Amino acid sequence: MMARGQGTYINEMLAERDSSLARWKDQNGVPLKIWIQPSSDVYEWRSTFATEVRDAFIEWDSLNLPVRFSFTADSAAADVHVTFIDHFEEPISGRTRWARDDDWWIIDGDITLAVHHNSGRTLDEESMKAMALHEIGHLLGLDHTDDQSSIMAPRVRVRGLSEADRSTVRLLYTLPPGGVR
């Protein structure tokens, strides 16, 4: 694990989760169905936000992980829902909630993205995509890293996936979920 973990932040994740990892099961080629809220009455929401979120899923999907994504217009048929809100009360712009079973397999997840920072400033398209990349990283099972050049830094400062993001998620999907000792 030490050798395979070089160039990743898997050790930070293990420290954060008491030496446990969570991830989706290999879907055997069946993609998770993603529903992205197609419109919103949130002030200053733009349809391009939904496009940026879709592009963020496509960027993660290009890594050819054992979990893939497809898109559906039917929210009832979706495995994952992405919705937009005006803002969060705390200083964040996105939140991912997922559930896992007793074996640490992720079995459900949803993403909420804010149109405005809690300070009131509106996110632009580039920021929306970066926030979506970050939250999809959480959906896949990634945690935060201290590496500020990573999309998974607690305060997103970059606009794309780093090599450490790619390496960490690839390593995560070769490991069994649960405790790593």
CATH of the domain at 100: 3.40.390.10
Give a yes or no: residue 82 inside a domain.
Answer: yes
Give a yes or no: residue 30 inside a domain.
Answer: yes
Rounded CA-CA distance 66/25 in Å is: 8
Give a yes or no: residue 158 inside a domain.
Answer: no
Give a yes or no: residue 152 inside a domain.
Answer: no
pLDDT in the model for residue 18: 83
- The domain total for the chain is 1
Per-residue pLDDT of the chain (181 residues; tens, 9 = 90+): 555 678 999 999 999 888 899 999 998 999 999 999 999 999 999 999 999 999 999 999 999 999 999 999 999 999 999 999 999 999 999 999 999 999 999 999 999 999 999 999 999 999 999 999 999 999 999 999 999 999 999 999 999 999 999 999 999 999 999 998 6
Give a yes or no: residue 169 inside a domain.
Answer: no
Give a yes or no: residue 15 inside a domain.
Answer: no
Return the closest-CA partner of residue 132 out of 111, 118, 148, 154. Answer: 111
Q: Which domain holds residue 98?
A: 23-141
pLDDT in the model for residue 17: 85
Give a yes or no: residue 28 inside a domain.
Answer: yes
Give a yes or no: residue 155 inside a domain.
Answer: no
pLDDT in the model for residue 180: 82
Amino acid at 71: F
Q: Strand locations in the chain, DSSP E?
A: 20-21, 23-24, 32-36, 69-71, 80-85, 94-100, 105-114, 178-179
